[in-house]
Amino acid sequence: MTPRVAVVTGAARGIGAAVVRQLAEQGWRVVAVDVPGDLPGVPYPLGTREQLAELAGRWPGRVLDVVADVRDQSGVDGAVALAEREFGRLDAAVAGAAVMVGGTPLWETTDEQWDALFDSGVRGVLNLARAAVPALLRVPAPRSGRFVALASAAAHRGLWRLAGYNAAKHAVVGLVRGLATDLRGTGVTATAVSPGSTTTDMLTASAALYGLADVSEFAAHQLVERLLDPDEVAAAVSWLCGPQSSAVTGTVLHADGGFTA
């Protein structure tokens, strides 16, 4: 069988890296995309070039690492073009890049913070859709293309002093619902996955915003009474990327440990 091919953004660490690992272990070919360094308005360091390269290096020739900023359309276009050039097609696109900013009431949110949330977490999803959807549609019918965006439990419940993040993740869900409708009848689906509190660097950044010394305090909000592992969320994303998820589109899969129950 021809291996399926995916582009994953936000791939250097956390849930994005877990998605890359799981797809690669399932035999996929993957282009793993991330932007090393710092971003304006984001108070914590992002994944590193070394993390991205180390991830890709586990599967030489099967996982390709690309340094690109999802805020830049040309960079995302290049990642999709690389997937088609090196692997011959594109079957799934996973929009995992986002940042966590907040810690103040909405009315005190700065333009820099707002722009950081929406440029990476919403425009980045749009940019991936612009690049990836035409490639997904270039696969001959009958096709089973998949567009999956990482939303959040914050897309479904207001979180204290994270109103900007709430708004950005609500936007991701709305974007996915509209995209799924635009893709009606094509064989390509669009879905979102909303994680709960997961042991990632973003959760550590969230704890810092609240002045918490221990991220485990977030576990109390989830029915499973523990934090989630990135692999648990990635399992939901990986399933949605596959042809077996053909009945699911225009909706959200809540991989949140019961956070929003």
112-149 tens-digit pLDDT: 999 999 999 999 999 999 999 999 999 999 999 999 99
Tokens of 135: 């490639």
Q: Which residues contact 217 (CB under 8 A, 6 or more apart)?
A: 207
CA distance 175 to 158: 19
| DSSP-based three-state secondary structure for 22 | helix
* pLDDT, mean over the chain: 96
pTM comes to: 0.97
- Calculate what percentage of the chain has a pLDDT beyond 90: 91
Tokens of 12: 């250097």
Catalytic position from the list 165, 168, 176, 192: 165
pLDDT tens figures, 57-79: 999 999 999 999 999 999 999 99
Q: Which residues contact 74 (CB under 8 A, 6 or more apart)?
A: none
CA atoms within 13 A on the CB side of 47: 31
Tokens of 175: 């974007």
Could you give the domains of the chain?
5-255 (3.40.50.720)
What is the reported pLDDT for 117? 97
Q: Edge to edge, what strands does the sheet with 146-150 contain?
A: 63-67, 29-34, 5-9, 92-95, 146-150, 189-195, 252-255
Q: Are 5 and 28 in contact (CB under 8 A)?
A: yes
Tokens of 188: 């390509």
44 assigned to active site = no
CA distance 196 to 228: 7
- When pLDDT is cut at 50, 70 and 90, the band that residue 210 belongs to is confident
Task: Identify the DSSP state of 245.
Answer: G
Tokens of 206: 């969230």
**Nearest CA to 209 among 160, 139, 149, 167?**
160
What is the reported pLDDT for 1? 76
